[in-house]
Structure 1
Amino acid sequence: MNTMRASVMTGVRTLQIEDRPVPTPGPHEVLVEVAAVGVCGSDVHYYREGRIGDFVVEDPMILGHELSGRIAAVGERVDPNRVGQRVAVEPQHPCRRCKQCTAGHYNLCPYMEFYATPPIDGAFCRYVTIDAEFAHPVPNSMSDEAAALLEPLSVAVTTMRKAKVAPGTSILIAGAGPIGVMCAQAARAFGAARIVVSDPLQSRRESALRFGATEVVDPFNEDVAALDPQVDAFVDASGAAPAVVSGIKAVGPAGHVVLVGMGSGDFALPIGYIQNMEIILTGVFRYTDTWPAAIHLVSSGAVDLDAMVTGRYDLEHVGEALDSDTDPASLKSIVVPK
């Protein structure tokens, strides 16, 4: 087979099915036949707005970067016995030579080529290539859909590491969308004793309780900043400025704040509180070395990704998949590129 079908974004809110050449794996790469692709908020941003910050879609591009599949072919430097192996794809290609890469922060590589980030194509198609070590083998007990969702779970794993979540700690999570719920599951798996999730929608608060939250808060009717007792860590998965400010104030002395949600570019923070409480504040930009941990969390039953899947779509209905987040009951939509 020399060509494959792909869902291509040709403009804002414009998709079309095209025949594209099947990519050829480089010497250290594998060719993956895609089995399942999760829909991410970044895909939705590109689809609806044509950009995320400085990343602008200027040419036709294939969206999708949360994926799993089966190795169909390998490059000349890759073990041929890997053909047929089920894998979850870590969708990035760092340069491996810059200061950030050699320091172990390959997610911050300035030369990064990341799936579905302009101008790199993503995975709403039949085949993709990736560096062999970024095609992570998954056990047969794991579904294709769960294997695809190891990518957003990796964001949650990185977040828990940065938030210093450990057995017995407490955490507040703002936003009960897909990443917020992933973070609630990860917090439980990391041993957090108290997991508070804030969201204005009752249906999403109820969803958070099903996936690990020990208590929920309606930020429109309760003062999140007055949370008592204060928490050890706060994670923002909403991108909403009021949620960030109130969440920071809910953190106790020497606590950790991790910003994950995409939202306003700039807004005022409670600097005096951050200084006086010695709050440690950081962000999350993708991940490094998280797939082994994520695979373990799912394989052991500590995290349930299959239960988060609320919709399935084929290539002809990618637009519907991208708009599925308008339904408050939707958590994760999956595209199956048959």
Structure 2
Amino acid sequence: MTDANLSLIVYGKDDMRLEERPTPEPGPKEVQISMRSVGVCGSDLSFWVKGRLGNLLLSQPKVMGHEPSGVISKVGSEVTHLKVGDRVAVEPLKPCSDCSYCRRGLYNHCSKPVNSGCITRYICHPANFVYRLPDNMSFDEGALVQPLALAFYACERVGLRAGQNLLVTGAGCLGMSVVLAAKAYGANKICVTDVIPERLDFIRKIGADVTALVKEDEDPEVVAQRLVGLMGNEPDVSIETSGSQSATSTTIYANRSHGMVLQVGFSTDTVQIPLVVATFKELDIRGNHTSRNSYPAAIEAISSGRVNVKQLISHRFSLEESINGFTIAANKSGSKVIIDCSRPNGNSLSD
């Protein structure tokens, strides 16, 4: 395959292919970007492994990947703040700018959403959602701006303040990003749960103060009591990143009264939770959808050294080897997998 726009496309459950597609040309307000590093996310895996993400069914073939960095290769006629050769991170949403949500600034809830699939050679994207990278940031770090921006937005949504105690359920890539963001926010004690011991070992290295190995069939109320004992008190806020129904219940049982629980992870579209407990505790339960206006803060945090995202990367693969990279990620045998879209016919890297 030698076409300039080789792309990784998912057609349905267990059906993902490398295909050649035409190279897109930018519109007046767009830029064309030569892709470099793209992270593999759990939502990408869900579309491949399950053919869906929560209640979002895969209705047509989809180019994979939404954690991109790259180099601007062409600019549209109306773009003035970016130029060819700029190294950039890309916020993958393509909001319509015209619906009621967009007009209120809630572009992450656009009623006509389009996402740029980014595991490909070239994409075209609205210039207003492309951010120049500082010279001291690598393309790999640029790719990880997206999950860190989501984690910053989650901390904002949950109202995390310096000195508060935080419970994070799920030690996957999103949970790791939340721990890094929460440290930057000044969280006091962070407790993380997961069903995989190796993930907990790693997340302690990057900032978790307390970890707990849980079983998928373990009683959430019993787990919550154990977590409160490990933390020494009830968490002020909780962020659920795993998509596990029992984990959501655990956050409700564990969190202090009049606190807040944030649901970030996706699983099934219907979840049973102990709502009476949440009512008696006067808990605020919030949802979280992608991020909004968080890219500049995430870029600054990485560039300044306040947040080290490079430590999350465990594997790198070329675009040609991207299906192997997805297999590694699906087997949960690493932390963060990066697809390098710039090296045709390259070999996989482990560093």
**TM-score when normalising by structure 1:** 0.93
Alignment match, 2:187: 192
Within 2, Cα distance between the matches of 1:192 and 1:297? 16
Alignment match, 2:37: 36
Residue 204 in structure 1 maps to residue 199 in structure 2? yes
Asked if 1 retains the 8 angstrom alpha-carbon contact of 2:54 and 2:267, the reply is no
Asked if 2 retains the 8 angstrom alpha-carbon contact of 1:74 and 1:80, the reply is no
Within 2, Cα distance between the matches of 1:190 and 1:105? 23
| Mapping for residues 225-240 of structure 1, pairs under 5 Å | 225-226=224-225, 227=228, 228-240=232-244
**Amino acid corresponding to residue 127 of structure 1 in structure 2:** Y
Q: Does the C-alpha gap of structure 1 residues 32 and 216 become closer, same or farther in structure 2, counting only changes over 3 Å?
A: same
Alignment match, 2:92: 91
Match of 2:302 among 270, 281, 298: 298
1:267, distance to aligned residue in structure 2 (A): 2.5
Q: Does the C-alpha gap of structure 1 residues 211 and 78 become closer, same or farther in structure 2, counting only changes over 3 Å?
A: same
Q: Does the C-alpha gap of structure 1 residues 81 and 88 become closer, same or farther in structure 2, counting only changes over 3 Å?
A: closer
Alignment match, 2:126: 131
Alignment match, 1:103: 104
Residue 317 in structure 1 maps to residue 321 in structure 2? yes
Alignment match, 1:118: none
Alignment match, 2:145: 150
Within 2, Cα distance between the matches of 1:311 and 1:2? 25
Within 2, Cα distance between the matches of 1:142 and 1:224? 40
- CA-based RMSD: 1.9
**Amino acid corresponding to residue 207 of structure 1 in structure 2:** F
Q: Does the C-alpha gap of structure 1 residues 210 and 75 become closer, same or farther in structure 2, counting only changes over 3 Å?
A: same
Residue 264 in structure 1 maps to residue 268 in structure 2? yes
1:110, distance to aligned residue in structure 2 (A): 0.9
Residue 251 in structure 1 maps to residue 255 in structure 2? yes
Q: Does the C-alpha gap of structure 1 residues 81 and 67 become closer, same or farther in structure 2, counting only changes over 3 Å?
A: closer
Alignment match, 1:165: 160
Residue 224 in structure 1 maps to residue 226 in structure 2? no
1:15, distance to aligned residue in structure 2 (A): 3.2
Asked if 1 retains the 8 angstrom alpha-carbon contact of 2:40 and 2:329, the reply is no
**TM-score when normalising by structure 2:** 0.90
1:218, distance to aligned residue in structure 2 (A): 2.0
Map Cα deviations across residues 217-242 of structure 1 (whole Å, 9 max, x no partner).
Answer: 12348943221410110111111111
1:59, distance to aligned residue in structure 2 (A): 3.5
1:288, distance to aligned residue in structure 2 (A): 0.7
Within 2, Cα distance between the matches of 1:80 and 1:242? 47
Percent identity between matched residues is 31
1:293, distance to aligned residue in structure 2 (A): 0.7
**1:296 match: secondary structure:** helix
Within 2, Cα distance between the matches of 1:271 and 1:60? 38
Q: Which deviates further from its counterpart, 231-240 or 53-62?
A: 53-62
Alignment match, 1:176: 171
**Amino acid corresponding to residue 205 of structure 1 in structure 2:** L
Q: Does the C-alpha gap of structure 1 residues 58 and 97 become closer, same or farther in structure 2, counting only changes over 3 Å?
A: closer
Asked if 1 retains the 8 angstrom alpha-carbon contact of 2:5 and 2:120, the reply is yes
Within 1, Cα distance between the matches of 2:239 and 2:144? 20
Within 1, Cα distance between the matches of 2:244 and 2:269? 10
Within 2, Cα distance between the matches of 1:229 and 1:53? 33
Within 2, Cα distance between the matches of 1:219 and 1:195? 16
| Mapping for residues 110-129 of structure 1, pairs under 5 Å | 110-115=111-116, 122-129=117-124
Asked if 1 retains the 8 angstrom alpha-carbon contact of 2:73 and 2:84, the reply is yes
1:244, distance to aligned residue in structure 2 (A): 1.1
Within 2, Cα distance between the matches of 1:156 and 1:86? 23
Alignment match, 2:62: 61
Count of aligned pairs: 332
Q: Does the C-alpha gap of structure 1 residues 247 and 203 become closer, same or farther in structure 2, counting only changes over 3 Å?
A: same
Alignment match, 1:119: none
Q: Which deviates further from its counterpart, 176-185 or 263-272?
A: 263-272
Segments of structure 2 that go 5 or more residues without pairing to the other structure are 344-351
Asked if 2 retains the 8 angstrom alpha-carbon contact of 1:225 and 1:250, the reply is yes
**1:213 match: secondary structure:** coil
Q: Which deviates further from its counterpart, 197-206 or 167-176?
A: 197-206
1:152, distance to aligned residue in structure 2 (A): 1.0
More strand, by proportion: 1
Within 2, Cα distance between the matches of 1:280 and 1:73? 46
Q: Which deviates further from its counterpart, 14-23 or 84-93?
A: 14-23
Asked if 2 retains the 8 angstrom alpha-carbon contact of 1:24 and 1:31, the reply is yes
Asked if 2 retains the 8 angstrom alpha-carbon contact of 1:70 and 1:84, the reply is yes
**1:113 match: secondary structure:** coil
Asked if 2 retains the 8 angstrom alpha-carbon contact of 1:231 and 1:251, the reply is yes
